[in-house]
A and B are shown apart, each in its own frame.
Chain A
Amino acid sequence: MRFTTRHTAAFLAGLLLAIAIIPGTQERPRAQEHPARIISVVPALTETLFAIGAGDAVVGVGTFDKHPPEVATRTHVGGLLDPDMERIFALRPDLVVFYGSQQDQIKQMSRAGIETFTYAHGGIDDTLSVIRRLGTRVGRASEATRLTNAIDTQIANVRARLAGRDRPRVLLVFGRQPGSLGNIYASGGAGFLHDMLEAAAGRNVLADVSRESIQLSSEAILTAAPEVIVELTYDDLMTEDTQAAEIAVWDRLSSVPAVRNKRVHLLLGNQFVQPGPRMGDSIEAIARTLHPEAF
């Protein structure tokens, strides 16, 4: 027998050595002060990068990124659950923005020597600090501060305008089975949706439940008796007929003050559920819905 155990061992050792050396010999962009090739799979932060003037450096975006329109011209690399690592490597990024939960991908990047920026969402303050942190990381600190200051001012203006007004009791819904009252998801008393609602001078009927997301039964809605129901939907292409039909679904719960007083409102667009540069606009839109007489 020609091939002995020794041969096999030598072959394996060689293979291991090759695996160990190859990545080291490959030419790779070095981590720089200002990344020139950025990939972001987080829609809110992709939008932020464009808003703070780092859009030109963005080479790859997440599959669900829709805003700003320029993202359509960038390479799509998957999303939260299915980032396409091969495509990400092929784009030779020097900074990749991931969700904090994408630990496997973050580890792969670190093995390949590619820097990552991780995102975990929280309340309004967390969102603003993430924007500033990202700005600093990509060399756009002053632009980021300018953006967060603008959002802060916008929020302060809304608060000032609505100061002293009655704060209606609001149910903030962000998911529901179309055409029915099944599988309703609403914002609890934590996270940016709750913060946005409070900033828009609404009182969250689920403020006592310290969770970001709660699946509600219709009994819970009848008991909570909100004065206004605001429903956020991603689908910004929904026709008026469909919108009317979806609002009419709530008519079944006619003892709920919001239903009785025709105060069930749909707000269309993904900006409401992606806390980013348009957060100030979103808060203003919610405020206009809750307090139309103040604007």
Chain B
Amino acid sequence: MREATATLPALRPVSAGDLRRRIWLVQVGFGALAVAACIGAPLVGPTTISLRQVFDTTIPFGQNVDAQIFFIARLPRAFAGALVGGSLAAAGVVLQALLRNPLATPFTLGVSAGASLGAMLVITLGVPFTALRSAAVPVASFAGALGALAIVYFLATMRRQGLSTLVLLLAGVTLNSLFSAIILFVQYLADPAQTLQSVRWVMGNLDIGSYRPILWALGPMGLAFVAFARLPRALNLLTLGADSAAVRGINVLRTQRVAFLSASLATGAAVAVGGPIGFIGIIVPHLVRLLVGDDHRLVLPASIGLGAAFLVVCDVAARTVLSPMELPVGVITAMLGGPFFLWLLVRNR
């Protein structure tokens, strides 16, 4: 494996047509993987359901158990898994390039800690407005993510002209610790039942039971993905260093801003839907680099596809392995992803 994004080797020269073909192959291949996972996942589960009955419109939905298992218990989870997995993997790629640090994850810059704090506060202190109740935890965690994003961004841009990635990193890591301490304090003050709920939230869960959280998340995620689509070339140059990128005509400050804001937005929305599901944002990008090389025009789309497929599959395991018990999906991403990644690492030496 190549040592680090920070020391990315110069990109191998390839002809434009060849590259276009590879990009197309990667997009179609990894896209198909994600779509296949989304289609396959709702068909698998601890209960055997009949597809004919699922789509049988003569039975009212309220009495059609198979349809409810398919459309409520499985399909939203697959969609949520795909969106969250794709977002976290993409955010990982972007932040690793932006910070020129292979160890960066979507959770490095404090956004997920802000999201977690928001969720904890609602779980332990309750919801002030009954009308907001059904959306309280996702809304509060997204608000927390935006708050953290604003603080880190303000700190990284206030000292001098431009955006200091060093300050970004330090502020993010410090904010992470600070928020974690506040989270522990809030949990300490909470009732045991609330503490259990908040601890469980941190392990990640995609059993959202409806499509509404997905629809809400589509807004910020869509915005982030539009930004991601314009980033790869600039990220390639940014990994060579800000100065080299500037020499080659990249508006460094603008790229850094877009990269940070879009990655944070995607992370915030993903955490609001599924909780801070770990490991995807670091393992998937590196896995993809082992498979397709270092060019971000390939790495970014491939990571989105693989991240989506990987989380969907992990979530199938979460709801199936110990059924009727539910396993925390964050535990599975780490337990499946960790050893597999280590194996690849050793094999490629």
Contact = CB atoms under 8 A, between A and B. Distances in A.
A218 B193 contact: no
A178 B133 contact: yes
Interface in B7-60: 45-47
Nearest to B47: A223
Given A220-B46, A255-B68, A182 B325 contact: no
Nearest to A43: B192
Contact of B72 (A82, A214, A253): A253
A11 to B, nearest CB: 39
B136 A219 contact: no
Contacts of A216: 324-326
Nearest to B134: A179
A180 B325 contact: no
Given A179-B134, A183-B201, A217-B73, A255 B65 contact: yes
A266 interface: no
Contact of B197 (A79, A177, A223, A253): A177
Contacts of B323: 217, 219-220
Given A180-B134, A223-B69, A206 B324 contact: yes
A219 B76 CA distance: 12
A74 interface: no
A235 B125 CA distance: 11
Contacts of B200: 177, 183, 215
Nearest to B46: A219
Contact of B324 (A79, A80, A179, A209): A209
A269 to B, nearest CB: 12
Contacts of A181: 207, 209
Main secondary structure of the interface of B (DSSP, over half): helix
A104 to B, nearest CB: 18
B217 to A, nearest CB: 14
Contacts of B319: 217, 219
Contact of B63 (A82, A175, A252, A255): A255
B261 interface: no
A179 B201 CA distance: 14
A229 interface: no
B116 interface: no
Contacts of A174: 193
Given A217-B326, A219-B45, A224-B324, A252 B72 contact: yes
A112 interface: no
B73 A218 contact: yes
A89 interface: no
B210 interface: yes
B123 to A, nearest CB: 7
B220 to A, nearest CB: 19
Nearest to A223: B47
B349 to A, nearest CB: 40
B216 to A, nearest CB: 13
A217 B207 contact: yes
Contacts of A217: 73, 207, 319, 323-324, 326
Nearest to B61: A254
Contact of A182 (B64, B122, B133, B209): B209
A254 B61 CA distance: 8
Contacts of A233: 193
Contacts of A176: 197
B69 A214 contact: no
Nearest to A238: B126
Nearest to A233: B193
B62 A254 contact: yes
Nearest to B126: A178
Given A181-B209, A215-B325, 12 more contacts: A178-B126, A178-B133, A178-B137, A209-B325, A218-B72, A219-B69, A219-B74, A219-B319, A222-B68, A246-B133, A253-B209, A254-B68
25 contacts: A175-B193, A178-B122, A178-B137, A179-B137, A180-B137, A181-B209, A182-B137, A206-B324, A209-B325, A214-B325, A216-B326, A217-B207, A217-B324, A218-B72, A219-B74, A219-B323, A220-B326, A222-B47, A222-B65, A223-B324, A241-B130, A242-B130, A242-B133, A254-B62, A255-B67
Shortest 9 CB-CB contacts between residues of A and residues of B:
A220-B324, A219-B73, A179-B133, A181-B209, A254-B62, A217-B326, A218-B73, A255-B68, A217-B319
